[in-house]
Amino acid sequence: MGLVSKKDKWRLSDSLWNEIEPLLPPRKPHPLGCHNPRVPDKNAMEAILFVLRTGCQWNSLDTTGICSCSSAYRRFREWLAADVFKKFWDQELIKYDELLGIEWSFCSMDGAITKAPLGGELTGPNPTDRAKSGTKRSLLTDEHGIPLSIVVAGANRHDMKLTCPTLENIEVKRPEPTNEHPQGLCLDKGYDYNEVRALAKEFGFTAHMVPRGKEAQMIKKQVGYKARRWVIERSHSWLNRILFKFRGKLIYLKNNLLILHYLFFLKFKFFSFTTEFE
C-alpha cells in the first residue's frame, strides 16, 4: 500500500490526460518480442508530477505506490527526448489564446537566477552568490503573466544578451502590431542599452524601460496608473516555488528545463476556472 491517496488534488484528471496522451511516442518493441507488463503511462506522468510538486528524490517514489522510481525516470527521459512537454506547452498556449486570448499589448521580460549545485551544461558562476554554480532563465510573458518564451543560460550571462533568443523563441503565433494595437515590451534597467532598443524595434515591440521604484512612485502620483512589471515577477515567483529540486541537472539545463512546469503551470494557475479544463 502506498503513502499517497488516490484523491490527492495534484493527480491528473481524465480530461487533462486525454490531451497529453496523444503526444506520447509509441512504445519501442522489445528485441526478443517479449516484455514485462509496462507501467501505465498515466501512472508514470503522475509520478513525475509528484516529484515536481513535492521536490522529493526520484527514489522516494517507491514508497508512494504511484510508480517505481526507475520507471518514472526512464519514462521522463524518453518523453523529454520526444519533446512531449514542449508540444503540450505549445498546444495549451494555442488553446488559452482561443479561450481567453493572449494579451500582447504589454508583454514583460526579465531574467531570474537560481542555484545549480550539481553543475551542468548551461550553468555558470552566480555573481550574486559568491560565484557558486547557478543558472539563469530569461522569461517573456504576456500582460497577465502567461509564459510565452523561455531561454536558459549560465547565471553569469547578462539579461540583455538573452533578449534576442528570448524574443525568437516565442512558442505561439504572434499577431502583427499596428498603430491602433501596438505591442509594448516592459523591461527593467538591466535592459537599458541601445542594442536592446534596436532588437525590440526589429521584433515589432515598443520598449518601455522602467527604473527601479519608478512604478511605485507613479502609482502614488498618477490616478489610474497601471503597474506592469509585477506580472513577470509573479511568474518567476511561481516557478521558483515549484522548481527547487530539479535545478542543476544536466537534462533540465536546456530549454526543456521549465517546459514540464509550464505543462501544469498553465493548467493549475490559469485554466482551473474554466469548465473545459476542470
Q: Which residue has the cell 518564451?
A: 149
Query: How are beta strands 106-115 and 184-187 bridged, if at all?
Result: parallel
Q: What is the mean pLDDT of the chain?
A: 77
When comparing pLDDT for 171 and 160, which is higher? 160
Sketch the domain layout of the chain as residue ranges. 14-82, 95-277
Q: How far apart are CA 204 and CA 183, in angstroms?
A: 7
What is the full DSSP assignment across 32-68? TS--PPPPPHHHHHHHHHHHHHH---GGGGGGTTS--
Locate 83 and state its grid cell: 519533446
Kindly state the average pLDDT of the residues 188-198. Answer: 90
**Check whether domain 95-277 has CATH 3.30.420.10, yes or no:** yes
Q: In this model, does residue 252 exceed pLDDT 90?
A: no
Q: In this model, does residue 97 exceed pLDDT 60?
A: yes
Q: What tens digit of pLDDT does each residue of 254-273 get?
A: 334 444 444 544 444 444 43
Q: What tens digit of pLDDT does each residue of 141-167 get?
A: 988 888 888 888 888 899 999 999 999
When comparing pLDDT for 210 and 24, which is higher? 24
**74-83, 89-98, 255-264: least confident range:** 255-264
What is the full DSSP assignment across 97-145? HHHT----SEEEEEEEEEE-TT--TT-EE-TTTTT-EEEEEEEEE-TT-
Percentage, residues of the chain above pLDDT 90: 19
